Amino acid sequence: MPSKYPKFSDLSNQAIPTVLRYAGVWLILVVWCQLVGWTLSWFGALTISGYMAASPVALVAIIGFWYATRPMAVRSFSSRSWLRRAKTSPALLAWCLVTLLIFIGAATNPPSNYDGVTYRLPRLLYWLQENRWHWIDGLDMRQNVSAVGFEWMMAPFIFFTRSDRGLFLINFLPFLLLPGLFFVASSGLGVRKKVARWWMWVWPMAYGIALQAGSIGNDLVPASLALASLAFAAHALRERPVFWLFLSALAAAAMTGIKATSLPLALPLGVYWLWVAWNTLGWYSTARVAVTSIPLVLPASFLPMALLCIINTGVWTGNPNNRHGAEAGHPVAGIIGNSLEILGGMVQPPLLPASKTINESIQKLIEDQEWYRWAIEQYPRFKIALGNELPMEEFSGLGLGITALLFLALSSSIFIKGIHSKSHSQLQRAIIITLIVAVLTFLSKMGTGGAVRLSLPYLPLVILCFLCGVRNMRYAKYPSLALMQLIPALFILPAIILNPNRPLLPVDLLSTNEALPTAFKQRIVNVYGAYQNRASILSPLLEQVPSGVTIGFAGGSDHSALGLFKPYGSRRVVNLSPRTEDEVNWIIATEEGFERRMDFTLNEWKALKKFEKVTDLEIVSKVSAGSEKWFVYKRIK
């Protein structure tokens, strides 16, 4: 075994970065949620009593970890050091401002992330009603086959608070760790410290990362876990490799348990893990760590969900013969389509009022191209666009601010001699190659659209690999480079302040502004109204529905049943199907949703005279779809 790495006996806990201690506590909670969720579900004990019984396990693990990693000497907080750091790093102040605004927006608005309110939170509520995970009848296959790690993290919040207002903390807390984890991980990959310090406060202001920090989207957490896995493994080079490599493996496993599309990312993470293990432990001890990690690593990964998909559909993806169109029909079409989507996300400006006209022009420009016709035939869901009027968390990735900085770093060698390294170490080359393989695998398989957002877990490692070649930003000698750190913050601030999910300005102030065209003001009213009411869009239908009843939900695949559950615990909601019809005494449905679920027309069903119509109401669920008529039916006694 190589001797250039220090032994544990030569080091003290004083060398442990504080961010790794907090990241370790966070990882314990993440893994605890996965293990407890699956275990309680297996025994049909997914209840508040079950979580209370399992809470001491998390408490003991956290206390044990905190004690084991305590520093030998307590560091005193120095305001002067922070002021000095702020003077040389404008991005630190910018990051603090952005973080504060994210918190204010998230704390003062209900969650409204599209995936979160459409199927992630509702499917969790379906499971909690039955005290176990189960296959859900309905039109949305995502409720059954998507990774469930994020849902297991939401479950304790729902049980202990009976509210979803605090769910944003699942994303916000790891967002606070991103700069420190990035710095530690960068040291393990050989990125220069000055470069890492320059970028650690900048990269979290990528559109997709910053916007999801206050939401219940599930892309930021796996990105954070990927970074944590790298950081833990990097620190294993310094001390207690068995301990830190164990945590690294847990983080990588939990990453896949939360986001199945991050599975290819396990390749570069695994290569780095094995390299660290070989250089600190040797093959025998490496195998021992791997084997002893299995009891926790496998349940925290995507494996339990993959097994359930095999049981219920016959394939581990839950998409036999691409029945749901979740995979690209041809790998090349997937690479082309997803790459173009990601490229659009990279150059998306902070404001684009004419987005609809511009995107339509792009579409007309390429729609007659032979390559495009072939690609769209193989991959119907991909879209080439520069984004919406504002960057939205559902459709945002890197963003123009970070892209501009990366381009400047790449081209700065023209102006600053020697800023780039021309060589990479064998480790860096191995990580870059395996990352390329992972990214190509992701691009070639994905057929759902939305690659801009789904690629976020890959983002930190891509940026780290890019920075491996940067020698020195030299912002002390070139002050203008330091000011460039503010670009991403300036680009993301409009999206944070005007975000329809969590606006920081009163909507009335925007919709009554005389300087804006009437059509644009009406657009503001429609969009903000739809987003603000997304989590409880069906609540008006409940005015005549008493508490304690069972409601059959029969909306379309993009409709959310979340509002029917509120206040949580007041009524039971099931997806309407021929199997569940006899269980319900109230039905809330659209005509299309009902007919797709029940396999006969609404008029044929009404002729059976089992239910009577109570009311109907026009509701706007999606601005693009306009208003839709919803019906409320009551069982005839």
**Same domain, yes or no: 169 and 59:** yes
d(CA 573, CA 221): 29
**Same domain, yes or no: 342 and 299:** no
487: nearest Cα among 84, 207, 171? 207
What pLDDT, on the 0 to 100 scale, is given for residue 1?
38
**Same domain, yes or no: 337 and 311:** no
Within-domain flag for 321:
no
**Same domain, yes or no: 262 and 381:** no
d(CA 116, CA 119): 6
Contact, 534 vs 560, CB < 8 A? yes
Within-domain flag for 488:
no
What pLDDT, on the 0 to 100 scale, is given for residue 99?
96
47: nearest Cα among 155, 119, 165, 170? 155
What pLDDT, on the 0 to 100 scale, is given for residue 223?
97
pLDDT above 70 coverage of the chain, percent: 91
Domain count, the chain: 3
pLDDT over 90 (residue 514) = no
What totals of helices (H) and strands (E) does the chain contain, helices first? 30, 5
What pLDDT, on the 0 to 100 scale, is given for residue 266?
96
Phi, psi of 550, deg, nearest 5 = -110, 125
Where do the H-state alpha helices sit in 162-200? 169-189, 193-200
Within-domain flag for 47:
yes
Pairing of strands 572-575, 550-554: parallel
Two tokens at 408?
């400047």
The mean pLDDT value for 281-300 works out to 89
Contact, 395 vs 452, CB < 8 A? yes
What pLDDT, on the 0 to 100 scale, is given for residue 8?
38
Within-domain flag for 529:
no
DSSP conformation letters of 504-558: SS-HHHHHT-TTS-HHHHHHHHHHHHHHHTGGGTTGGGGTTPPTT-EEEEE--TT
Residue 593 sits in a domain whose CATH number is 3.40.190
CA distances from 137 to 5, 146, 150, 365, 586 (A): 55, 15, 21, 42, 17
**Same domain, yes or no: 294 and 341:** no
The mean pLDDT value for 422-444 works out to 88
Within-domain flag for 503:
no
What one-character DSSP code corresponds to residue 76? P
Model confidence band, residue 21 (pLDDT cutoffs 50, 70, 90): very high
263, 291, 316 - which closes a domain: 316
**Same domain, yes or no: 168 and 297:** yes
What pLDDT, on the 0 to 100 scale, is given for residue 10?
38
What pLDDT, on the 0 to 100 scale, is given for residue 419?
44
Within-domain flag for 580:
yes
Within-domain flag for 44:
yes
**Same domain, yes or no: 186 and 57:** yes
pLDDT over 60 (residue 288) = yes
Close Cβ partners of 34 (under 8 Å, ≥ 6 residues apart): 149, 152, 254, 257, 299, 300
The mean pLDDT value for 148-153 works out to 96
pLDDT over 60 (residue 6) = no
> Residue 278 carries which side chain, given as an amino acid letter?
W
Contact, 182 vs 203, CB < 8 A? yes
With the C-alpha atoms ordered 275, 277, 282, 288, is the resulting torsion angle positive or negative? negative
446, 467, 488 - which closes a domain: 467
The answer, as to whether pTM is greater than 0.85, is yes
316, 339, 367 - which closes a domain: 316
pLDDT over 80 (residue 77) = no
The gap from C-alpha 275 to its chain's centroid, in whole angstroms, comes to 28
Contact, 121 vs 164, CB < 8 A? yes
> Residue 424 carries which side chain, given as an amino acid letter?
H
pLDDT over 50 (residue 415) = no
**Same domain, yes or no: 208 and 66:** yes
CA distances from 596 to 321, 324, 519, 554 (A): 21, 15, 35, 9
**Same domain, yes or no: 106 and 209:** yes
Count the alpha carbons within 13 Å of 625 in the hemisphere toward its beta carbon. Answer: 12
pLDDT over 70 (residue 363) = yes
Two tokens at 421?
């390294």
**Same domain, yes or no: 310 and 350:** no
**Same domain, yes or no: 151 and 274:** yes
Two tokens at 203?
């990269």
Tens of pLDDT, residues 154-197: 999 999 998 899 999 999 999 999 999 999 999 999 888 888 88
Within-domain flag for 364:
yes
pLDDT over 70 (residue 480) = no
* Residue ranges of E strands in 426-578: 550-554, 572-575
Does an H or E element contain 588, and which?
strand 586-589
**Same domain, yes or no: 456 and 561:** no
Range(s) of the domain holding residue 88: 8-316
